[in-house]
Amino acid sequence: MTSRQLFTIVTMFVLGVFGYAALAPSPASRPARFATGASASPSPTGPPPAYDVRPLAQPQGRYLGVALSGAPQDMSRVDRFADLVGSKPNIITIYESFDDEFAAAEVRRVHRYGALPIVRWEPFKAKLKDIAAGRHDPYLVEFAVAVRRLNLPVALTIAHEMNGHWYSWGAHNNTAKDFVAAWRHIHAVFARADATNVIWTWTPNVINPVPSVRLAPLYPGDAYVDWVGIDGYFTRRGEQTFDALFAPTITQLRKFTARPLLIVETGAEPGAMRRRAVEELFTAMRKRPDLLGFVYFNQKGSGDWVIDSDRPAVAAYRAGAAADRRLGFRVN
């Protein structure tokens, strides 16, 4: 059976389950003000309307998130982190490879906790050109249908840090047109499945290590993006203040989009810099109305970002979380 034949079969299944979805507007016809929009009225014989993510995409409060090894599979790790920093996170990161099934159980755990799951979808093996050309459509349709069937809010990043050169989907292996075409194609597949319970979160790396890669050509457009995410880390050999790390990227972003910002991944290496970095993250949220929050990567990765035993950093986190009443609202 060819991929095209398989895609046809899966698509017919989707239309059988979500028949009214075929009448949904195409991505290009959706209002530019908000990419996902509200779903149509439910059919008497169809599924319930898609979860309306607009209040979460444009919240009155602010997000304080965490990425933890072993979570959300083990939510006790989230509880321990919340006890440590004195505040329950309301965003929790889930990492998925592009060939994984949708992590429905993990998303459900995060939602029950009162947080928004942010899924980082990583196409390690799939080429962006192939995604854009529809060669992975059977998988995409299956994933989108699973997202819609669960019908809980999900923030979704796809091929994050695409302006870097450290991932297979990065700028050294792909053109900006490849990336934009792949993103828009995935968005269209989700729209046909009526999977509008998604906050589309386009997430480049801070431009500092890759200043020659312009962000504007990589941007799919406001009709396809709800949040602009940013990944950036405070390091001893690199930028050590919020302005040095994030301001150049934000300045460039604001030349082509006014979408809300979320720091989707950040952390600081050990030392006095870490306490200051944490303080400045909270200060930036208080001063910038366009900054929805940040997600602290409390794991070891390219560096040691774990703050658990760093008393000054933990104290700064607790003080920052306590000083802003907008932080930590329950998602559900």
**What's the CA gap between 319 and 48, in Å, rounded?**
42
Phi, psi angles (nearest 5°) of residue 303: -150, 180
Is the C-alpha dihedral spanning 148, 152, 157, 159 positive or negative? negative
Query: Which listed residue (265, 269, 279, 280) is catalytic?
Result: 265
For the question of residue 161 being annotated catalytic, the response is yes
The residue written with tokens 């192939």 in the block is 130
Query: Which listed residue (106, 122, 161, 279) is catalytic?
Result: 161
Spans of all domains in the chain: 62-323
Its CATH class, for the domain covering 62-323, is alpha beta
pLDDT tens for the chain, residues 1 to 332: 444 444 444 444 444 444 333 333 333 333 333 454 444 445 556 789 999 999 999 999 999 999 999 999 999 999 999 999 999 999 999 999 999 999 999 999 999 999 999 999 999 999 999 999 999 999 999 999 999 999 999 999 999 999 999 999 999 999 999 999 999 999 999 999 999 999 999 999 999 999 999 999 999 999 999 999 999 999 999 999 999 999 999 999 999 999 999 999 999 999 999 999 999 999 999 999 999 999 999 999 888 999 999 999 999 999 999 999 898 799 98
**What's the CA gap between 116 and 118, in Å, rounded?**
6
